[in-house]
Amino acid sequence: MSAPPVTSPTRSRDASSGTEHYLGLMSGTSLDGVDAVLAALHPQGGMQVIDHAFAPFEPALRNELLALNTPGDNELHRAALAANGVARAYAELARTLQQRHPQLSIRAIGAHGQTVRHRPGEFDGSGYTWQLLNAALLAELSGIGVVSDLRSRDVAAGGQGAPLVPAFHQAVFAGRCEAVLNVGGISNVSLLSVEPGATPRGFDCGPGNCLLDHWIHRHHGLPYDADGAWAGQGQVLPALLASMLGDPFFRLPPPRSTGRDLFNPVWLQAHLNTLGSPARPVDVQATLLELTALSIAEALLRHGGPGGRLAVCGGGALNGRLMRALGQALPAWSIQASDALGLPAMQVEAAAFAWLAMRHVERLAGNLPAVTGASGPRILGAWHPA
């Protein structure tokens, strides 16, 4: 990646080592809450995770963020209030890690915000992606400089604005696995390379946990299907599975990205409506788990290599049934959670946003045009000084 010039924050750094501390704050499409990772990062590579913390969203904020994923009334005011709520939740977690490590000076926070719309569109200036976060308030509350809005510049350059993690996956996992799979609300894959000068590839696969979470919440009031246990009690419905896998998104070539804009309860209901008779909820859950596994496997086989080592991160790595379904669908891949490579599955994304903050501070590009389709490498994010 090249490093175009940009006006960037001034910095003081331990010149002897070049290593600085960054905080990554991530709340993804699952909307379960906020993950924070405090990491020591060196611009030339090398990362050590110092600590990790998680806090669930308050139910009222989570409900409002979910509602804002769907067009509705008086959204500007509601979105502004929700962006303040996200900033307060992020600041609380930042404070937790600051208090645990008072001796460390944190160079910057990389704060993702909450995606409520993702419409990258064509390269005609109409595309946008929107992550709710009042980054100014976060800088004010935390006393730390914040890099936010990390996707918009890539979209402005004609890219998808996502996925952004392949560059980070390459930096920390290359040589130890051939592919990295993130199963959050949405799933995405990075295909790594050890060839000199080669860049990784990557793309979104489709729904990860978001439809599974929705369905078990609707029928049992639970936030997620722990270990896929409920899905395991049902039978896969072939007609429903075929209908869902028929969505044109699954046939799109990379660069491609998606989100709750497409894979949401309305999408699921439309496919349920194609069935001749009502389905048992437990069978729908079994079918959704199969959809997640098969859409990932199909994308990996079509656009990735024939096999190798696949490291899995995100909450889906904690779903034993999903991991077994992936193993069955990808017999030539050896699959294990990223924990085996030294970075726990639930820390990878937040660590990636700490890394993206470092790229901004160091005036280095954060995107990979080969992944997102942007017209060139770009420094990502907007800077909000401490």
Ligand X SMILES: CC(=O)N[C@H]1[C@@H]2OC[C@@H](O2)[C@@H](O)[C@@H]1O[C@H](C)C(=O)O
Q: Are 29 and 259 in contact (CB under 8 A)?
A: yes
**Cis link prior to 281 (omega < 30° from 0)?**
no
Task: Select the binding partner of residue 366 from ligand ATP, ligand X, none (C-beta < 5 to 8 A, by kind).
Answer: none
- What DSSP letter does each residue of 261-316 carry, written as one string? TTSSHHHHHHHHTTSSSPPPHHHHHHHHHHHHHHHHHHHHHHHS-S-EEEEEESGG
Q: Are 245 and 295 in contact (CB under 8 A)?
A: yes
What single letter denotes the amino acid at residue 251? R
Q: Which of 139, 53, 142 is nearest to 97 (CA)?
A: 53
Q: Does 185 show up as a binding residue in the annotation? A: no
Q: Which is nearer to ligand ATP, 324 or 363 (CB)?
A: 324
Q: Are 386 and 143 in contact (CB under 8 A)?
A: yes
Work out whether 186 is an interface residue with ligand X (CB under 6 A): yes
Q: Which is nearer to ligand ATP, 149 or 349 (CB)?
A: 349
Kindly compute the dihedral angle of the four CA atoms of residues 300, 304, 308, 313, in this order, to the nearest 10 degrees.
Answer: -50
Stretch that binds ligand X, among 51-59, 184-192, 289-297, 335-343 (CB under 6 A): 184-192
Q: Does 35 show up as a binding residue in the annotation? A: yes
Work out whether 338 is an interface residue with ligand ATP (CB under 6 A): no
Q: Which of 19, 24, 13 is nearest to 41 (CA)?
A: 19
Stretch that binds ligand ATP, among 22-30, 77-85, 103-111, 274-282 (CB under 6 A): 22-30
- Indicate the DSSP class of residue 67: H
Closest residue to ligand X: CB criterion: 163
- Indicate the DSSP class of residue 199: -
Smallest separation (angstroms) from ligand ATP to the CB of 200: 17
Q: Does 51 show up as a binding residue in the annotation? A: no
Q: Which residue in the set 82, 89, 162, 361 belongs to the binding site for ligand X (CB under 6 A)?
A: 162
Work out whether 129 is an interface residue with ligand X (CB under 6 A): yes
Work out whether 184 is an interface residue with ligand ATP (CB under 6 A): yes
Locate 271 and state its tokens: 């496919």
Helix H segments across the chain? 59-68, 75-100, 135-142, 152-156, 165-173, 210-220, 238-245, 265-272, 281-303, 320-329, 348-361, 369-372
Task: Select the binding partner of residue 170 from ligand ATP, ligand X, none (C-beta < 5 to 8 A, by kind).
Answer: none
* Element housing 102 (H / E): none
Q: Does 28 show up as a binding residue in the annotation? A: yes
Task: Select the binding partner of residue 315 from ligand X, ligand ATP, none (C-beta < 5 to 8 A, by kind).
Answer: ligand ATP
> Cβ–Cβ contacts within 10 Å for residue 57, how many?
20
Task: Select the binding partner of residue 120 from ligand ATP, ligand X, none (C-beta < 5 to 8 A, by kind).
Answer: none
What single letter denotes the amino acid at residue 278? P
Task: Select the binding partner of residue 148 from ligand ATP, ligand X, none (C-beta < 5 to 8 A, by kind).
Answer: none
Work out whether 129 is an interface residue with ligand ATP (CB under 6 A): no
Q: Which is nearer to ligand X, 234 or 369 (CB)?
A: 369
Smallest separation (angstroms) from ligand X to the CB of 204: 5
Work out whether 346 is an interface residue with ligand X (CB under 6 A): no
In terms of C-beta density within 10 A (0-12 exposed, 13-18 middle, 19 or more buried), how is residue 73 classed?
Answer: exposed
Task: Measure the CA–CA gap between 44 and 62, rounded to whole angstroms.
Answer: 38
Positions in 294-333 near ligand ATP (CB under 6 A): 314-316, 318-319
Q: Which residue in the set 75, 227, 298, 339 belongs to the binding site for ligand ATP (CB under 6 A)?
A: 227
Contact code string over 32-61 relative to ligand ATP, x by CB under 6 A: x-----------------------------
Q: Does 127 show up as a binding residue in the annotation? A: no
Work out whether 202 is an interface residue with ligand ATP (CB under 6 A): no
Task: Select the binding partner of residue 213 from ligand X, ligand ATP, none (C-beta < 5 to 8 A, by kind).
Answer: ligand ATP
Task: Measure the CA–CA gap between 248 and 231, rounded to whole angstroms.
Answer: 25
**Residues in binding site for ATP:** 28-35
Q: Which residues bind ligand ATP (CB under 6 A)?
A: 26, 28-30, 32, 182, 184-186, 208-209, 213, 224-227, 314-316, 318-319, 349
Q: Which residues bind ligand X (CB under 6 A)?
A: 28-29, 115, 118, 129, 162-165, 184-186, 188, 204, 257, 259, 349
